[in-house]
Structure 1
Amino acid sequence: MTPTPTAVALPEVAQARRGQDGPFGVYVHVPFCFTRCGYCDFNTYTPAELGGANPDAWVAALATELELAAARLGGRRADTVFVGGGTPSLLGGQRLARVLSHVREHFGLADGAEVTTEANPESTSPEFFEAIRAAGYTRVSLGMQSVSPFVLGTLDRIHSPGRPVAAAREVRAAGFEHLNIDLIYGTPGETDDDLLRSVDAALEAGADHVSAYSLIVEDGTALARRVRSGELPAPEPDVAAHRYELVDARLRGAGMDWYEVSNWSRPGAACRHNLGYWGGGQWWGAGPGAHSFDGALRWWNVKHPNTYAQLLDQRALPVAGFEQLSAADRHTEEVMLALRMRDGLALSVLDAGERERAATAVSDGLLDTDGQRLVLTDRGRLLADAVVRSLLG
C-alpha cells in the first residue's frame, strides 16, 4: 500500500515585510512537457514519466492550493502573475484561462496587473493566443532559444527553426502588450552567425524584451552525460563572454537596453514579475516544486505532481520544506540581486569592509559609482558573480 504523503507545516512568523508594502506576485508552475530537452533540469515530467498526464486534475489541485494560500496571506492582491514550467502552452488556451480565473477568485488582481505565460512555439496557434489574451493575459514569454537547426538539435528542441518567428507574429496579432523571447547562447558548435541570426529573428518578430542565457551544463541532464562521455565539448567561458557581448551590442543597436544582466527591453517593457523577485518582493509559488517567499520565510512545494495532488486532496498545503532567512541571509541576497540590476546597489547597504572592497572593484573597472550607488560596468557584467563574491568577502 502506498503511504499517505505528509506535508511540512509552515510556521507563523513575524515577517519583516508582511504588510501590503511592495509588490506581490503569484507564480504558477506547470510541470508538464511533451519531451525533455537535454539541457533542462527543471521540475518537469513527460506523459510517459507520469503514466499519462491529467492536466484537469492538476488544475483542480492548483485551485485548492490557491484557496489555502489566499487564506494564509489574508487579502493580498496579485500585482503580477507568471505561469511557467514546464510547458504551460501544453495546457491549451481554455485551461490557462481557468488558471487565471482561479488566481482572480482567490487572490484578486491589482489594477493594471501584469499576467504572463511562458509558451513553446510547437504547442501554440493563433487560436491559443487569442484565447489567453481574451482571458486576461497581457504578456507572452516565448522559448525560441535559436533559429539554427544545428543548435536546436544539440539542445533537443523539437520545434522547427521558423516556428518561433511565426508564433511571435501570432502573439502580436492577438493584441498582446508585451512579447519576450528567450535565447540560449554558448551551445557547443554554435557560431557567431548562428547567434546573431537568432537575435535578429527575435527583433524582426516584434519582441520588445529579450532574455539571453549562457548554456549551463547541469548535473543529471542528458547534456551533462554527452559532455562527460566526450560526445560534446563543454561550453567555453571565453566563448560565452564573447557571445554575450555580441548579444548586448546587437540589442543596444536596435534600441533595447539591459535592465538585468541577462535581460534587455525597450523602454517600459521590463518584466514586472521578475523585477519583483530581484527587488526583494513577496510571492506565492503554486504548483509542484514551486518556491515562495513572504519577506522572511522561504518555502518550497513537494516536487511530484501526484504527491502534490494527494496532499491537496487532504486540504494540506503541499510544503516540502522551508527556511527562515536571517538578517545576514537577506543582506547577501540584496547585494547579489541588486548588483545584477541596471539600477545597481545603494552604497549605504554595505558595511565598512564591503565598501572598501567595492572601491577596489571600481578601481579595477568592474563597478561604476556616483557616490550613492554601485552599477556593474560592461566588463563587470561578464564577471557579475565574481564581483558579488568579492564584495561579500
Structure 2
Amino acid sequence: MAWGESAFSGSGPGRQWLSLGLGVAVLVGLGSGVALATHPPSANAQTMSVAGSSASGPDAGGQAVSQAVRPVVSITPDATTPLNPTRPIVVTVAQGTAKAVTVKTPNGKTVSGTLDAAGTTWTSKGDLAYGTTYAVGVDTLDPSGAPGHQDLSVSTVDPRVQAYPSFIPPPGQTTVGVGQPVVVRFNHPVKDRVAAQKALSVTSSAGQTGSWYWLSDTEAHYRPQTYWTANSTITLKASMFGVDLGGGTFGETDRTETIHVHDAWVAKADGATEQMQIFDNGALVKTMPISLGSPGHPSHVGPHVISDKQPSITMDSCTYGVCQGQPGYYKEQVDLDERISDDGEFVHSAPWSVASQGGQNVSHGCVNLSPANAQWFFDHFGIGDVVEITNSGGPQLPLTDTYGDWELTWAQWLKGSAV
C-alpha cells in the first residue's frame, strides 16, 4: 500500500498531490535520517522538541525550547457583577504567583489587603465604598520566574438611594425610664423589612429579650414583654451598611448606641379617684390629687411614656383644630410640662384647676397638678418614665401616638415583627 494512501483517505487532485508530497517527504527523510512528529504539541505544554539527526524517535537528541506560560489573574466577583462593599475584593492567580497586588480608588487611595503565603490569593481588608470602581494592578511571576504585570478593575454596588437609620432615644439622651421603646427611623422607605430587621439587634444587660414592631416602612419599634429592668443597660446596633433594603435602597451606615435605664418611675393616674400614685422601683412614694380630661375631652387610657419635658410652653388648642372664636379655644403659657402623647396630653402645673384637683376632671386631656406637685413631678420624672391612666372615660391611647407601644398585648406585639 502506498504511504499517501495509508495517511489520507478521500479523492481529488488536492488530496492526491498531498499524498504524493508526503510520500516523497518520508522517502527523503528516511534517506537523510530526519524524523517528523505526526501530532502537534499540546496547547498546555510548556516545552517542545526539535528533531535531531537520529531516526530513533522525535525525542532522541532533541533540543528543548521553552514556551512562556502567562499567569491567569482573576477577581471575585467578575467585572460584570457589582461587588457589595461589605465583601472583600479577592484576587487569585493561576499558572503562576503574585509578587504584589495594588488596589486603588479613583482618587489614588490605596486599599489595604493581604497576600497568602502561596502567593496565589490576595484579599482586601475592611469595607469598601458604594458606587466606586477600583483599579487592580497585579505584579506576577510565571513558573519560570519571569515577571509580568496585569491591570484589572472591579466596581461596587451603586444604590439608587441610601437609607440612614436614626435612633430614638437619640445618642445625646444619657438616661431613660423603663417605658422607653427603642426606635429606628429610616429616611427612605424600606421594602425588604426582613433584611432590615435582621441587621438590627438589641441586647440588655439584664438579659431581657424583646421583639420589633413595624409601624410603617420607615419606622420600627423594639420593646420587651414588660417594662425594661431598672438600672440596666441597653445596646442597640444597626449594621445597615451594605444591606439591600429593596427597590435599589441600601443601608447608608452602621450605628451603635448604648442606652442607660434609670430607676423605675411609674405614675398611676386614676380618673375615678382623681388621685395619682407615684411608684419608685415598685414602692409607693407619693400620692397627689389630679384632674384629668373633662367628659368632653377625656384623657386616653393606658400606659403613656414621657417623650419630652420643658419648663414652660405655650399651649394652643388650635394645634388640634379648636381655633380662636370657636368654643373651647385657649392659648396660654403653661409651666412644668411633660409630654405623654402627641394628642396634646401633658402632665403639668395647673394653678387654675387646683380647686377641682382630687374631685373633678376638668382639663382638656392633660393631667393637671398643683404648682408644688408639678414641681416635684418635674424633678423626679423624665424621658421614658411611665404614666398609666385608668378610668378616664377616654379611648385607648393609639399605638401610633408617639409611644403607644405598651397598649398592645405581647401576642399582638409579636405580630408586628417581619421575621
Task: Work out which structure has the larger RCO, using CA pairs closer than 8 Å and 6 or more positions apart in sequence.
Answer: 1
Which TM-score band (shorter chain)?
under 0.3
Q: Which is richer in helix?
A: 1
The TM-score normalised by the length of structure 2 is 0.22
Larger % of strand: which? Answer: 2
TM-score by length of 1: 0.23
The structure with the largest alpha-carbon Rg is: 2
